[in-house]
Chain A
Amino acid sequence: GAVVSQHPSRVICKSGTSVKIECRSLDFQATTMFWYRQFPKQSLMLMATSNEGSKATYEQGVEKDKFLINHASLTLSTLTVTSAHPEDSSFYICSASRGRVGNQPQHFGDGTRLSIL
Chain B
Amino acid sequence: AQTVTQSQPEMSVQEAETVTLSCTYDTSESDYYLFWYKQPPSRQMILVIRQEAYKQQNATENRFSVNFQKAAKSFSLKISDSQLGDAAMYFCAYRGLSNYQLIWGAGTKLIIKP
Residues in A whose Cβ lies below 8 Å from that of B33 = 103
Query: How far, in whole Å, are A115 and B32 apart by their CA atoms in the complex?
Result: 37
CB distance B42 to A110 under 8 Å?
yes
Majority secondary structure of chain B interface residues (helix, strand, loop or mixed): loop
Nearest-neighbour CB distance to chain A for B84, whole angstroms, equals: 21
Task: Name the CB-closest residue of A to B53.
Answer: A103
Chain A residue nearest to B109 (CB atoms) is: A41
Q: Which residue of A lies closest to B46 (CB)?
A: A108
Encoded as 1 (CB less than 8 Å from any B CB) or 0, chain A from 15 to 56 comes to 000000000000000001010001000111010010000000
B102: interface (CB < 8 Å): yes
Q: Which residue of A lies closest to B6 (CB)?
A: A43
Chain A to chain B: the 10 pairs with minimum beta-carbon distance, closest first: A108-B45, A43-B104, A100-B100, A111-B43, A110-B44, A103-B33, A43-B106, A105-B47, A43-B107, A44-B104
List residues of A whose CB falls within 8 A of some B CB: 32, 34, 38, 42-44, 46, 49, 91, 93, 95, 97, 99-103, 105-111, 113
